[in-house]
Amino acid sequence: MDFLFSYLLRSIIVAGVLTAYYWWVLRDRKFHRYNRFFLLAMLALSLIVPLMRFAFYKVDAPSNKAITGLLGCIGPNRPSDRYAWTFTWPSMLLAAAGSVSLFLLARLLGRVVWVYRQRCRYHSVRMNGLYFIETDLAMAPFSFFNTLFWRKDIPFDSENGQRIFQHEYAHIRGKHTYDKLTVQALSCIFWINPFYWIIQKELELVHEYIADSRSIGEGNGPSFARMLLQVYNKGRHLDPTHTFFSSSIKRRLAMITTSDKTSFSYGRRILVLPVFLLVSALFSFHLATAQDKERDEQKERAEKLAFANRSPEAKEAEANEQRARARRQAEVILKNLPSALYLVNGTEWSRESIRKLDLSRIKGVHSLYIGAGQKEDNEHAQSPWGKEALSKYGDRAKNGIVEFIAE
């Protein structure tokens, strides 16, 4: 139960951040194919990213219990092993939310069934890779998958009729119905996520932008806009079809008359990468609570106690293994001898002197920044030795520090 609430919360956060980016940077810009892909990717990321388990950095739990609880929800966690159902307020809220989802899915399914019934009711004609159906439905013309429902009182051979046909044909060729059904189904299941409804509306409008751009001939934008104004009526909620006379008429008209040139076009699209990294970083911390610290201390005490209770033979065997590992590591370093600051038991040695170091004396090796271009060894850098060495030697250690512990 806790995992489900945590997943929903993180999904809402991901969708919210990406929707904000789309709203301020990409919305109503003339790169419709990219916007279509981005809106669909937003849905996928909001479902996948909350399932990722990263813990790149640690955050100490604040004293405020409410903030600690919120961070605990959005931080990396594991699904609970207990799935027993109990009649608590959270479980009843979940049941109510599930009932709403089922109702919305049933409503959407009812609309799909209605469309198929209309397709069986009227005679269809195969043309240009689609099924053309003449109807007397007031909402026509509209398309659904590869079927075009045409209203009988609209002359097909007229100028406006051909524009409408090209518009709906663009929806069919672009397979926009698949997008629409996907986002509507997800909006029904995760109806509690308000950003899914925004994504649904924006995706439908992007579909209209794409179809409008393909149905308007050169210089015919004003006449197409006048036609929309003359026959405009509002669309409907959870309608899986693409109706030509759809809603958001003002934005469609504005897009028709907008210049194709967009300022910072490439930058607007490429900036999504740091936004995605930001979203991933929101869930990539480990919350160090008091219980975690106590658990770590108990583990450390148990390890020390277990080591103290070992037999002398076991302790000697482990010490010998540690010496062997240190000598193998020292042998690799001495073969390559990277440019670094070298120490032996805390005393600085030159590279020439280090070459003559007897490997049989080595019982430990500490190292940082070994090898050109390699990243900092975080484990050693955060150790007491690493912090002390970096603080003591400063710029002299910029190429690396290697300390050999010798007998």
pLDDT (0 to 100) of residue 369: 60
Query: Could you give the CA distance from residue 184 to residue 240 in angstroms, rounded to a whole number?
Result: 8
Q: Looking at the structure, tell me whether residues 102 and 205 fall in a common domain.
A: yes
Which of 146-150, 280-284, 351-355 is the least confident region?
280-284
Range of the domain at 238: 2-80+87-282
Show which of 253, 282, 311 is a domain's final residue: 282
The answer to whether residues 186 and 329 belong to one domain is: no
Domain count, the chain: 2
Strand-pairing partners, residue 149, are 133, 142
Where among 282, 314, 337 does a domain terminate? Answer: 282
Determine how β-strand 142-144 pairs with β-strand 242-243: antiparallel
* Cβ neighbourhood burial of 368 (10 Å; 0-12, 13-18, 19+): buried
Q: What is the pLDDT of residue 233?
A: 47
114 found inside a domain? yes
pLDDT, greater one: 372 or 279: 279
> Among the ranges 133-137, 281-285, 327-331, which has the highest mean pLDDT value?
133-137
3-class DSSP state for residue 85? coil
Residue 290 lies in a domain: no
pLDDT at res. 289: 56
Residue 367 backbone dihedrals phi, psi, to 5 degrees: -150, 150
What is the arithmetic mean of pLDDT over 266-275?
Answer: 80
Domain's final residue, options 222, 248, 282: 282
Which residues, including other chains, have CB under 8 Å from residue 282's CB and lie 6 or more apart? Answer: 13, 17, 74
Residue 340 has pLDDT above 60, yes or no: yes
- On whether residue 317 sits in a domain, the answer given is no
Same domain, 190 and 270: yes
Q: What would the pLDDT profile of 22-78 be if each residue is shown by its tens digit?
A: 998 888 888 889 999 999 999 999 998 888 766 554 555 555 555 455 445 555 554
Tokens 């590992």 label which residue?
325
pLDDT at 80: 47
Q: Residue 324: how many CB atoms within 10 A of its CB?
A: 12
What's the full length of the chain, in residues? 407
**Which contiguous run of DSSP H or E holds residue 258?**
none
The reply to whether 191 and 330 lie within a common domain is no
249 and 110 share one domain = yes
**Helix, strand, or coil (residue 288):** strand
Instruction: Tell me the C-alpha distance between 253 and 209, whole Å.
Output: 10
- Which pLDDT band, with edges at 50, 70 and 90, does 182 fall under? very high
pLDDT higher than threshold 90 for residue 109: yes
Instruction: Evaluate whether residue 395 is within a structural domain.
Output: yes
| Measured CA distances, 30 to 92, 97, 194, 220, 266 (Å) | 46, 38, 25, 18, 12
What pLDDT was estimated at residue 364? 84
Q: What is the predicted pLDDT for the residue at 256?
A: 74
Structure tokens at 354: 């280090």
How does residue 83 score in pLDDT terms, banded at 50, 70 and 90? very low
Same structural domain, 264 and 340: no
Strands 347-349 and 341-344: antiparallel
Residue 381 confidence (pLDDT):
60
- What pLDDT was estimated at residue 373? 42
> Any residues with CB less than 8 A from the CB of 156 and at least 6 apart, and which?
150, 162, 165
> Quick check: is 374 in a domain?
yes
Q: Are residues 259 and 362 in the same domain?
A: no
Which tokens hold the place of 197?
Answer: 């409804």
Is the domain of 23 the same as that of 158? yes
Answer whether residue 240 is part of any domain.
yes
- What is the Cα–Cα distance from 90 to 113, expressed in whole angstroms? 34
Q: Where are the beta strands (DSSP E) in 136-284?
A: 142-144, 147-151, 242-243
Q: What percentage of the chain exceeds 70 in pLDDT?
A: 72
The full DSSP string for 105-167 is: HHHHHHHHHHHHHHHHHS-EEEETTEEEEEE--TT-SEEETTEEEEETTS-TTSHHHHHHHHH
The structure tokens 């603080």 sit at: 391
pLDDT at residue number 372: 43
Do 347 and 277 fall into the same domain?
Answer: no
Query: 132 and 202 share a domain?
Result: yes
Position 311 in a domain: no
pLDDT tens digit sequence for 204-261: 999 988 888 887 755 566 666 666 655 554 444 456 666 655 556 777 777 777 766 6
Q: In this predicted model, which residue has the larger pLDDT, 384 or 347?
A: 347
Are 207 and 25 in contact by the 8 Å Cβ rule? The answer is no
Nearest CA-CA partner of 393 in 341, 354, 345, 350: 341
Dist. CA 225–CA 205, nearest whole Å: 16
Q: Are residues 187 and 75 in the same domain?
A: yes
| Comparison of pLDDT for 326 and 89, the residue scoring more | 326
Identify whether 314 is part of a domain.
no
pLDDT for position 60: 54
Q: Are residues 260 and 375 in the same domain?
A: no
